[in-house]
Amino acid sequence: MRLVLLGAPGSGKGTQAEVLKAELGVPHISTGDLLRAAVKAGSPLGLKAKAVMEAGQLVSDDIVLAMLEERLAKPDAAAGFILDGYPRNVAQCEALEALLERIGQPLEIALKLDVPSELIVERIAGRAAAQGRKDDTPETVRERLRVYAEQTEPVAGHFAQIGKLKIVDGVGELAEVSRRIIAALPAQCRNARVNA
């Protein structure tokens, strides 16, 4: 199962990715985690990324894509993967699709968790209060959602155009949302896991 998990910040992507990882037996790959791990390990790509970040710039798509290619070459990704946090724009979608075609692991589905913005604001503000965090104010969260809508929302449109998008209602109890996600997967993927 090769899938991309989409959704606004606070929609529950990370949590559901972990559930899917256990359910499908494929790795959950977060590009943010990949970047941090490469920098910490001091790998050639990590050193490049570190230099860019220390200069106060965004790590280029080329570096992120190269890290992703390295990660997808590992044996645990042979049966598939769950991508979280990438792609963030249509240009990254196209680069990702070209990479996946080249390595013979074309994307099967993009799942988008649909959660109303005001519920996300409540969720994140509640979590921030519980954790004593001051940076996740309702205003900050609304700004992140605005940036998401402007820059990342078109990714869902791209996947819809090529017939790979499924939208899943992300409101409800964790197990209930997980069941909806599993039900949205292509039948061969669900059956392969049941028969594994």
Q: What is the CATH number of the domain that holds 139?
A: 3.40.50.300
Is 127 among the residues known to form the active site? yes
Is residue 135 domain-shared with residue 56, that is, in the same domain? no
Select which of 13, 71, 166, 180 is catalytic: 13
**142 is a catalytic site residue:** no
Residues 119-170 pLDDT 10s: 999 888 888 888 877 778 888 888 889 988 998 889 999 999 999 999 999 9
Whether 31 contacts 86, CB under 8 Å: yes
**195 pLDDT above the threshold of 60:** no
Q: Is 144 tagged catalytic?
A: yes
Q: Does residue 190 carry a pLDDT above 60? A: no
Of the three residues 73, 104, 127, the one that is the final residue of a domain is: 73
Residue 31 binned pLDDT confidence (cut-offs 50, 70, 90): confident
Q: Answer yes or no: is pLDDT of 55 > 90.
A: no
Active site residue 48: no
**What mean pLDDT, rounded, does the chain reach?**
89
Same domain for 90 and 36, yes or no, is: no
Say what the pLDDT of residue 188 is: 65
Scan for tokens 């790509």, then name that residue. Answer: 45
Catalytic residue among 21, 50, 88, 123: 88
CA dihedral 182, 19, 161, 35 (to 10 degrees): -160
Active-site annotation holder among 40, 74, 102, 133: 133
Q: 173 pLDDT exceeds 90?
A: yes
* One domain, residues 136 and 181: yes
Contacts of 166 (CB under 8 A, 6+ apart): 109, 110, 111, 112, 184
Judge if 44 and 97 occupy the same domain: no
Catalytic residue among 21, 50, 123, 144: 144
CA-CA distances (angstroms) from residue 126 to 145, 173, 196? 16, 16, 39
Q: Judge whether 2 counts as a catalytic residue.
A: no
145 and 168 fall within a common domain: yes
Q: What is the pTM of this model?
A: 0.85
**34: its two tokens:** 């990949």
Question: What is the residue whose two structure tokens read 């078109």?
Answer: 154
Q: Can you tell me which residue has the tokens 């710039």? A: 57
**Amino acid, res. 155:** V
Pairwise CA distance, residues 168 & 178, whole Å: 10
Task: From residue 150, give the alpha-carbon distance in Å to each of 44, 95, 97, 158.
Answer: 33, 20, 22, 14
Residues 12, 92 within the same domain: yes
- The pLDDT tens digits of the residues spanning 58-84 come to 788 899 999 999 999 999 999 999 999
Backbone angles phi, psi at 11, to 5 degrees: -80, -10
| Distance between CA atoms of residues 73 and 138, nearest Å | 40
- pLDDT for residue 35: 87
